Structure 1
């Protein structure tokens, strides 16, 4: 009887989660003391606030607020310059939490500075898993309409991207994952996000600026960084 009641309660919880668009708890990878803190890196012409929904979902799944760090930066500057800031933020998050590694979740252009960091600046021991949501990893034609240093670096065939993608696209002992949507609307071509050596996921029809807010994508990302 007790077992039947437990299954009934779980079924009700799963149904309720489906109604509000949340990931099913039957497949939840909730926080444990061994979970890594998470650094969030936003994209061009954005800010730390773009992560509010995802951060709140991680908190609801048990991540302490001290383990969730989103920061803002100047999105006009070179992604190589921003990579220096990413490096500082990683070190600060490690020092604050006492953890040995962090996970990095990025949206759009945030994937480029963090990839530069992983390739050129990061100690192998500091980062475990890296996520790119709609990243212009091989460039996007949308960047042809803006002229800042960062935008030029996002253009297809840019010197910055050619250097970043030379050799191993997923270097180091890090675990890489990318998510791309057929309805992105900003990353053109959509398959620009794919990286050789990464776990590459094609989502349902989700617009670029909603990739970090979509409940299904959140569940996939959460389970990827916290298997």
Structure 2
């Protein structure tokens, strides 16, 4: 049905379009840098469901990362919120500042969401660094009593070994301290997510999960960014490999947020009683999703 439908004096809004393809998201973020994704940040929104806060990955922004999931959640009855954290260079490149600082941004944003929605708890869904940020907030910034679900799409849970080049990278930075200083000044969050960084050592010094919080991690076997892909798993949480669900899913790290299989599992994680199996009738491609 097109437009608005008036039923018994109530206004029902037509569902938002959900496009499982990263290319339209690129076009949107170029035309409107820094904007909220469709369906997000409607601060007057109220729902019987817990509000969902979306956390983008490194070097992207909320519009680019959540152009598919945000309207999908909105159509499913959620109040959806998102933020650009960790700086936003050129209106596009976010998630570069120290993760500790981004954690404080998230803590402040969660309080704003809880107050606006009248909710005691929120659910956090993060892609890549966003998943790690959610874990950090729950572990170290008091988020455990304010978060019900942490859902990670390809999170850097235990740090990436950079396809086996992590030791080489650390050695290079030690030999060239000026290079290390440049990285620390311009892109510290990327270095923090490398296996063996002080930040990852802090994260790994405590159990993966916090009691009372439900964790779901959704990964792809073809992840070339957070490697090995099983390093993303969390002990004490539910860990899902999309290829175990649909053999024709060839999604990579970047396109996981546009994978209809992965996003179906996000909905299943947030509302287990309504869970249903993903549709495996169509393939999912790297870079673009589907």
- Give TM-score, length-normalised by structure 1: 0.80
Do structure 1's residue 58 and structure 2's residue 78 form an aligned pair? no
| 1:199 paired residue number | 238
- 1:132-147 correspondence to structure 2 within 5 Å: 132-142=152-162, 147=183
- 1:74-223 correspondence to structure 2 within 5 Å: 74=87, 75-142=95-162, 147=183, 148-204=187-243, 205-223=250-268
Question: Could you tell me how far 1:34 is from its partner in structure 2?
Answer: 3.4
Moved more, 141-150 or 68-77: 141-150
Structure 1: 5+ residue runs without aligned partners? 1-19, 22-31
Q: Take 1:42 and 1:87, find their aligned partners in 2: how far apart are those partners?
A: 15
| 2:60 paired residue number | 46
Q: Take 2:47 and 2:117, find their aligned partners in 1: how far apart are those partners?
A: 11
Q: Is the 8 A contact 1:138 1:192 kept in 2?
A: yes
- 1:3-82 correspondence to structure 2 within 5 Å: 33-49=47-63, 50-63=65-78, 67-73=79-85, 74=87, 75-82=95-102
Structure 2: 5+ residue runs without aligned partners? 1-18, 21-45, 88-94, 170-179, 244-249, 273-290
Structure with bigger helix share is: 1
Q: Take 2:120 and 2:232, find their aligned partners in 1: how far apart are those partners?
A: 28
**Using a 3 Å threshold, how does the CA distance of structure 1 residues 134 and 123 change in structure 2: closer, same or farther?**
closer
What is the RMSD computed on CA atoms of the aligned residues?
2.1
Q: Take 1:95 and 1:37, find their aligned partners in 2: how far apart are those partners?
A: 11
**Using a 3 Å threshold, how does the CA distance of structure 1 residues 155 and 124 change in structure 2: closer, same or farther?**
closer
Question: Could you tell me how far 1:171 is from its partner in structure 2?
Answer: 1.7
Q: Take 1:122 and 1:218, find their aligned partners in 2: how far apart are those partners?
A: 27
Q: Take 1:53 and 1:124, find their aligned partners in 2: how far apart are those partners?
A: 27
- Give TM-score, length-normalised by structure 2: 0.63
**Deviation per CA, 1:79-109, whole angstroms, max 9, x where unpaired?**
1110001111111111111111100000001
Question: Could you tell me how far 1:119 is from its partner in structure 2?
Answer: 0.6
- Count of residues paired in the alignment: 195
Question: Could you tell me how far 1:33 is from its partner in structure 2?
Answer: 4.5
Moved more, 131-140 or 143-152: 143-152
Question: Could you tell me how far 1:123 is from its partner in structure 2?
Answer: 4.4
Q: Take 1:58 and 1:123, find their aligned partners in 2: how far apart are those partners?
A: 22
Question: Could you tell me how far 1:221 is from its partner in structure 2?
Answer: 0.9
**Deviation per CA, 1:169-198, whole angstroms, max 9, x where unpaired?**
102421111111011221111111011111
